[in-house]
């Protein structure tokens, strides 16, 4: 079964919500996360799939665990897998 498509819009909404909740501008988040301002805008708009290293930097700058940041991406996925996929 193919992997579900990630909800990039939900991720962007969550990042924007956390940023605003902390009183951060896009420029301030970009500086703190060492991610280009244009990338933050694209991610918040749900137009791009960010690399894990980018999301890690954003999560760190927002002061949240990466798992909390990306939780909305997976929230709508069915929980069909019982066992973790083995790494080959």
Q: Is the pTM of the predicted complex or chain greater than 0.85?
A: no
| Cβ–Cβ under 8 Å, residues 9 and 78 | no
pLDDT at 49: 92
Provide the terminal-to-terminal Cα distance of the chain, rounded to the nearest Å: 17
- Residue-wise pLDDT for 28-78, tens only, equals 999 999 999 999 999 999 999 999 999 999 999 999 999 999 988 876 666
Digit-coded pLDDT (tens) for 11-39: 999 999 999 999 999 999 999 999 999 99
What confidence score (pLDDT) does residue 7 get?
86
Residues ≥6 apart with Cβ < 8 Å to 77: 4
Q: What is the pLDDT of residue 5?
A: 77
54-64: buried (b, 16+ CB within 10 Å) or exposed (e) per residue? bbebbbebbeb
> Cα(41)–Cα(47) distance, rounded to whole angstroms?
9
**At residue 9, what are phi and psi to the nearest 5 degrees?**
-65, -40
């Amino acid at each position: 079964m193919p992997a579900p498509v990630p909800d990039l819009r939900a991720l962007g909404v969550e990042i924007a919500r956390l940023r605003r909740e902390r009183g951060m501008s896009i420029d301030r988040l970009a500086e703190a996360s060492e991610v280009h301002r244009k990338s933050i805008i694209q991610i918040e708009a749900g137009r791009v799939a960010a690399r894990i290293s980018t999301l890690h930097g954003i999560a760190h700058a927002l002061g949240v665990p990466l798992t909390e940041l990306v939780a909305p991406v997976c929230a709508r996925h069915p929980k069909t897998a019982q066992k973790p996929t083995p790494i080959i």
